[in-house]
Amino acid sequence: MAEGKFVVTPWEVRGEVNYDKLVKEFGTEKISEALLKRIQRHTGELHFMLRRKIFFSHRDLNWILDQYEKDNKFFLYTGRGPSGNTTLGHMVPWIFTKWLQEKFDVELYFQITDDEKFLLKPELSLKQTQNFANENILDIIAVGFDPKKTHIFTDTQYAKTLYSTAIKVAKHVTFSTAKAVFGFKNESNIGISFFPAIQAVPCFLPSILKEKNIPCLIPAAIDQDPYWRISRDVAPKLGFYKPAQIHSKFIPGLGPGAKMSASDPKAAIFTTDSPEVVRKKIMNAFTGQQPTAELQRKHGGNPEICSVCQYYYFLFEENDKKVEKIFEEERSGKILAGEHKEDLADKAVKFIEEHQKKRERAKDQIDKFMLKD
Ligand code: TYM
């Protein structure tokens, strides 16, 4: 891959992502200071993921707030493709989604695409993606969503409800559009070429179930955006509002570059990893430092590529001043990233231990959350 080249699709994120370029390429809008102020008027405070522009881009968020201010409340829609255990990467949009649910007091529809991952991954059987779905559901519940306002479903167990809207969507999407948006090839199986219609359905589902048009806001990382381009195109043809989005950046893996992805298990922290494994992974994380401590003290490092700094930034330190201090210490070479690793590992282990307790408790709550045919 040539320098400066990167790829972002729902199924692959590769290279160093240039988010400014991506906003132009995808035709989304950056979140402005004025929009942040507008959000803050409703939420009282700004989540650190907004303050830091981890959630950095959107479509129609002003419109969502217009509607909200006119008492036309939106619902949230997000999801998970169960190709493995949950990583901390997936937790980024979910933690933010929980905050949105709390602050705006809205319903959440959570789709689990066991069909997508079965169709996409030659190595996975349907039974396996369904088993991962069951595991992932525990993580979702453990995030702490409101059981009265949160509806989780897997595609294969909710297919009867989803299917009649999926075919209505599919009828409006030509194969050449799907090919242009998702890069399907002649060798792609025909299941995956239909699948984008299934991921579009929850944008409209609450409107169908409640028999009135309800605005939809999708919090997710920006890799999912191609799906929403299709959904937004079709929405008015079916008489629905276009779904709005708020997009996040990717938390990097523990190795150099790229996003955290379940397909590189050594570079990802899984919510099911034991505390010892989490500690070990962090202690081995890439920091991009100079080859010796002496050189590092002399020349400093680059917090932008140091995964230790990035983990504080994305997840483990809510206090902006503390993050700035950590970045400065790294930049100046005053403190070596290795010295920060111990502290980060303590924070990550605490997070995982608490999450795993909630995950255990989630086992008794599944029925409260699930939609089934
Ligand atoms: P999946 O399982 O690939 O990802 C689940 C969610 O996690 C986000 N994500 C990340 N966010 C930050 N840093 C990372 N390193 C990182 N890796 C993944 C994804 O953007 C996503 O929000 N097709 C979807 C499932 C789905 C869905 C949806 C997702 C169905 N409907 C609606 C979002 C919204 C998928 O495979 O997600």
Question: Domains plus CATH for the chain?
Answer: 7-250 (3.40.50.620), 265-361 (1.10.240.10)
* Nearest CA owner, ligand 1 atom 22: 220
CB count within 10 Å of CB 206 equals 20
Quick one: residue 246, left, alpha or beta (phi over 0 = left, psi -120 to 50 = alpha)? Answer: beta
Look at residue 4 in the predicted model and tell me its pLDDT: 67
Q: 221 in ligand 1 pocket by Cβ < 6 Å?
A: yes
Task: Determine the Cα–Cα distance for residues 161 and 157; give it in Å rounded to an integer.
Answer: 9
Residue that wins the pLDDT comparison between 168 and 291: 168
Q: 271 in ligand 1 pocket by Cβ < 6 Å?
A: no
Task: Determine the Cα–Cα distance for residues 128 and 111; give it in Å rounded to an integer.
Answer: 17
Q: Which range among 185-189, 262-266, 361-365, 366-370 shows the weakest confidence by mean pLDDT?
A: 262-266
- pLDDT-derived band at 5 (thresholds 50, 70, 90) equals confident
Closest CA to 92 of 130, 60, 139, 58: 139
Closest CA to 188 of 198, 174, 178: 178
Residue 341 Cα, ligand 1 centroid: separation in angstroms?
A: 27
Residue 78 Cα, ligand 1 centroid: separation in angstroms?
A: 8
Q: pLDDT tens digits, residue range 11-24?
A: 888 888 999 999 99
292: which DSSP letter? S
* Nearest CA owner, ligand 1 atom 5: 80
Alpha-carbon distances, residue 60 vs 40, 89, 143, 239, 291 (angstroms): 17, 25, 26, 17, 47
Place of tokens 């504080």: 312
Average pLDDT of the segment spanning 153-182:
97
Percent of the chain with pLDDT over 70: 98
Look at residue 1 in the predicted model and tell me its pLDDT: 46
Look at residue 3 in the predicted model and tell me its pLDDT: 53
Residue 299 Cα, ligand 1 centroid: separation in angstroms?
A: 38
In sequence order, what E strands does the chain have? 7-9, 12-14, 29-30, 55-59, 75-80, 108-112, 150-154, 216-221, 244-248
Q: pLDDT tens digits, residue range 218-238?
A: 999 999 999 999 999 999 999
Q: pLDDT tens digits, residue range 100-142?
A: 999 999 999 999 999 999 999 999 999 999 999 999 999 999 9
Percent of the chain with pLDDT over 90: 85
Look at residue 338 in the predicted model and tell me its pLDDT: 77
Q: pLDDT tens digits, residue range 26-47?
A: 999 999 999 999 999 999 999 9
Average pLDDT of the segment spanning 141-157:
98
Q: 10 in ligand 1 pocket by Cβ < 6 Å?
A: yes
Residue 340 Cα, ligand 1 centroid: separation in angstroms?
A: 29
Residue that wins the pLDDT comparison between 91 and 335: 91
- pLDDT-derived band at 60 (thresholds 50, 70, 90) equals very high
Task: Determine the Cα–Cα distance for residues 249 and 102; give it in Å rounded to an integer.
Answer: 22
Q: 278 in ligand 1 pocket by Cβ < 6 Å?
A: no
In the predicted model, what is the mean pLDDT of the chain? 95
Residue 317 Cα, ligand 1 centroid: separation in angstroms?
A: 22
Average pLDDT of the segment spanning 183-191:
95
